């Protein structure tokens, strides 16, 4: 199934929420590499890693039970920046596990990491700088989003890792002073 169709399906029929899951907990998505994911060299196309990360982020929101709450407010996530570090090439039929976690947030952006593994082998790491918008284009602050995702009991943002802070500055999405 193409990843776009998979995202559409997960919008209509998301997986069940994980009881007690917090916005700072990890979410795990398992996918199988299919022939539509491959490029002409028969390994997963670079852009497909980002599509797989999209699927994993949707599962993360579903695990939090957040999709209906976001839909009611007409809020939706968008990617402001992304970076992928490749270690190994995924091949057709491999079962890949994507571990997703929120690293923290600032006044503008929520930062996430997706770690792609096959067995105990690291294949890729994706960093995402994301925002939430309301239908019509209004930006929603990360604090409001985290509060909604946390059922009104939002934690403080963990301190962002220095490499994420440097990356956010480099791609010009970091908090402005």
pLDDT in tens, 87-116: 999 999 999 999 999 999 999 999 999 999
Confidence (pLDDT) at 7: 64
Confidence (pLDDT) at 4: 67
For the chain, list residues with pLDDT below 50. Answer: none
Specify the pTM: 0.92
Enumerate the H helices of the chain as residue ranges: 3-12, 46-63, 67-73, 142-149, 162-170
Confidence (pLDDT) at 15: 83
User: What tokens appear for 166 in the block?
Assistant: 């440097």
Q: Is 177 exposed, middle or buried (0-12, 13-18, 19+ CB in 10 A)?
A: exposed
Instruction: Judge contact between 106 and 175, C-beta under 8 A.
Output: yes
* Domain residue ranges of the chain, discontinuous segments joined by +: 3-170
- For residue 104, the cross-strand partners are 111
Please give the sequence-ordered ranges of beta strands (E in DSSP) within the chain, or none if there are none.
27-32, 75-86, 95-105, 110-118, 121-134, 139-140
Other beta carbons within 10 Å of 59: 21
Architecture of domain 3-170: Roll (3.10)
């Amino acid at each position: 199934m193409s990843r776009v169709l998979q995202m559409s399906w997960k919008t209509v029929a998301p997986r069940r929420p994980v009881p007690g899951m917090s916005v700072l907990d990890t979410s795990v998505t398992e996918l199988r590499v299919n022939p539509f994911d491959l490029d002409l060299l028969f390994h997963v196309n670079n852009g497909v890693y980002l599509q797989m990360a999209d699927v994993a982020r949707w599962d993360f929101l579903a695990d939090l039970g957040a999709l209906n709450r976001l839909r009611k407010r007409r809020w939706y996530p968008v990617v402001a920046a992304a970076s992928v570090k490749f270690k190994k090439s995924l091949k057709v039929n491999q079962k890949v596990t994507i571990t997703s976690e929120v690293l923290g947030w600032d006044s503008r952006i929520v930062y996430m990491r997706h770690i792609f593994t096959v067995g105990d082998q690291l294949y890729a790491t994706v960093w995402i700088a994301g925002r939430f918008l309301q239908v019509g284009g209004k930006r929603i602050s990360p604090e409001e989003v985290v509060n909604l995702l946390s059922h009104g009991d939002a934690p403080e943002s963990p301190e962002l890792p220095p490499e994420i802070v440097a990356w956010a500055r480099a791609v010009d999405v970091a908090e402005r002073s």
